[in-house]
Each structure stands twice: as structure tokens, then as C-alpha cells.
Amino acid sequence: MADGNGPGRISVAGLAFAALMLVLILVSIWLFIARPWWFPELASVRGGDIDGVFSAVLIVTGIAFIGVQGTLGYFVARYGTRGTERAGYWHDNPKAEAGLLIGTAVIMTVLVFMGQRVWANIYFTDAPPGTLEVQVTGQQFAWKFHYAGPDGVFGRTDPKLISQDDSNPIGLDRRDPAAKDDVIAVEMHAVVNQPVKVRLRSKDVIHSFFLPRMRYKQDAVPGMAILIWYTPTQTGKFEIACAELCGNGHYRMRAFLFVEKTEQDLNNWLKQQLAEQAGN
């Protein structure tokens, strides 16, 4: 049938396009199911929720992706022509359109609520009382970690006291009694399965505190002190990167998080840092 709704002529171009759509679908399935490259190994409690949201969206978009690319490939292969045959003359289907509209809206609503549950858990819940707090300051191109020490009180800081060299990188006021036992380090230490609060600041431009294995990322903005908290679930050494362009050395703005086995290990490290600081 040349006119109307029947199949058109199969053409090389149509078949080639359909074949490419098939390859695209198969390669995508391989990439997302065999996972030759995937998320770095998970090492925090709430990070698993983030991975869960990702998987939910992946299922929804994956079905849509295969459905649409597959249908497009099929139609293009099936409805070709090399001559002057006519297509069907129809151009409306309000019912199908309404169904699609409502269907998409429902799916998106479900995704919004799923995602917001995780978002709320991360941002709208407070860390348990007594959680260790670390004040993290970004600068071109390094991270500085400030611990309150045994007294649990952070010493006063003032940008005017920041030293030209690296001896007082965050402007800690050493005359403040609360500052006496404060530790300023170039690496971060925390304890496994214990929550840790991070109060993020920046000395100069915007940076972003990125812990890939914890699935955490938060911008450090000058003039703001932003609080996040998370609970590491594995001991070891973890990379911290800067995820916001901050200048020519952006790429090398790396630090490490060491997750210790026990609180005692953390305290030993703090003591050692304090002794080194006093020695300087």
C-alpha cells in the first residue's frame, strides 16, 4: 500500500538509523548493568540513599530512553520512501496526549517525593548532640581543618590575623583562651560509624567540598558558614576534592580524610598535632 497508514519502503538509511539506535540501546544497557565504570565504593550512611535515588531515576529514564529511541528507530526504518508515496493524514489524538501528560506528571511527582525524602534527611535533620565538629576552610588551593580540641570550644578567628606564610592560615586568635588547644591541620580525621559535622568556610573564592566516596558535596562560600554532617562507614584514607572552579590551581586542591577505628585514635592524632604546633 503506497498511501495512508501501511508500512513504507524499507530503505538503507532507515535501516542504518534503526541499527544505530539498537547499538545505542545495547551499549547503554551494558554500561549501566555490567557497570565497567561506576560510582566509587560507598563509605557513608546517607550516601546509600543518594545512590538509591539515582537508581530509581535510572530505572524511569532507562525505560523512557529505550522506549523512545527504540520506537524512533523502528518508525524511521519502517516509514521510509524513495518515491512520492503519501503518508497518512492524521495529526491529533487528544486522548493519548492527555494520558501521556498525566502519566508523566504522576511519575515525576513520585520521583520528586522519593528524592525529597532523601534531601530532607540530609539537610533538615540535625546531627545528634555531642557530634564532633570540624571547621573546614577552603583557600586557593588547599583545605584547612580546624579542631576545637579537648575544651570543645573553637577559638576566635579574624581574617586580619591570617599570616602571609602558612603559620596561621585561618587567622586564629592565639590570645583567645579557647584557642589554646585548637588544632589546625592539612588533613581531616574522623571516627568510623560516628557522625561528623563540617562547618564550611572560604577565605577567598567559592570552593566545593567534595567527598566522592561519601557522596557529599557542598560549596564553601566566602562570607558564609555552611553546616553539613555525615557518618563514615569505613576506616581508611579518602580523597577530598574541590568541585567548584576556583582558579588555575583548582585541579590540585586535594586533601585527605582519615577515618579512624576509635575515638582514642582520633584523640591521639589531635594530641600529636597539638604537640607539633607547640614545637613550631
Task: Tell me how far, at minimum, the Cβ of 162 lies from other proteins, in Å.
Answer: 5
CB closer to other proteins, 139 vs 266: 139
Question: 3-state class of 152 per DSSP?
Answer: coil
Whether a cis peptide bond, with omega within 30° of 0, leads into 141 is yes
By CB under 8 A, which span of 187-195, 242-250, 257-265, 268-276 interacts with other proteins? 242-250
Give the DSSP letter of residue 33: I
Rule CB under 8 A: choose which of 33, 34, 86, 129 binds other proteins: 86
Minimum CB–partner distance for residue 220 and other proteins (Å): 8
Q: b/e for 64-99, b at 16 or more Cβ within 10 A?
A: ebbeebeeebeebbbbbeeeeeeeeeeeeeeeeeee
The residue within the footprint of other proteins, chosen from 48, 128, 236, 249 (CB under 8 A), is 249
User: Nearest distance from residue 136's CB to other proteins, in Å?
Assistant: 13
Distance CA 32, CA 25 (A): 11
Distances (CA, A) of 238 to 41, 42, 86, 106: 11, 11, 63, 40
> Residues 1, 33, 91, 280: which binds other proteins (CB under 8 A)?
91
Per CB under 8 A, 276 contacts other proteins: no
- E strand or H helix at 56: helix 47-78
Of 174-203, binders to other proteins (CB under 8 A) are 203
For the segment 205-224, give every residue that binds other proteins (CB under 8 A): 205-206, 208, 210, 212-213, 215-219, 221-224
Q: Nearest approach, Cβ of 216 to other proteins (angstroms)?
A: 7
Residue in this structure with the C-alpha cell 489524538, named with its chain if needed: 93
Cβ of residue 155: shortest distance to other proteins, in angstroms?
A: 16
Cβ burial of 172 (10 Å; 0-12, 13-18, 19+) is: buried
Indicate the pairing of strand 183-185 with strand 216-220: unpaired
Q: Which of 45, 69, 176, 271 binds other proteins (CB under 8 A)?
A: 69
Q: Which is nearer to other proteins, 253 or 266 (CB)?
A: 253
Contacts (CB under 8 A) with other proteins, residues 116-175: 116, 118-120, 122-124, 139-140, 159-160, 162, 164, 171
User: Using CB under 8 A, which of the segments 81-89, 128-136, 147-155, 258-266 binds other proteins?
Assistant: 81-89
Residue 96 binding other proteins, by CB under 8 A: yes
- 234 touches other proteins (CB under 8 A): no
Interface with other proteins in residues 26-65 (CB under 8 A): 27-28, 31, 37-40, 47, 49-50, 53-54, 57-58, 60-61, 64-65
Examine residue 252 and tell whether it contacts other proteins (CB under 8 A): yes
Tell which residue, 79, 72, 90, has the closest CA to residue 2. 79
Coil, strand or helix at 78 = helix
Edge-first strand order for the sheet with 132-139 is 183-185, 142-147, 132-139, 196-202, 226-230
Find the binder of other proteins among 34, 89, 126, 279 (CB under 8 A). Answer: 89
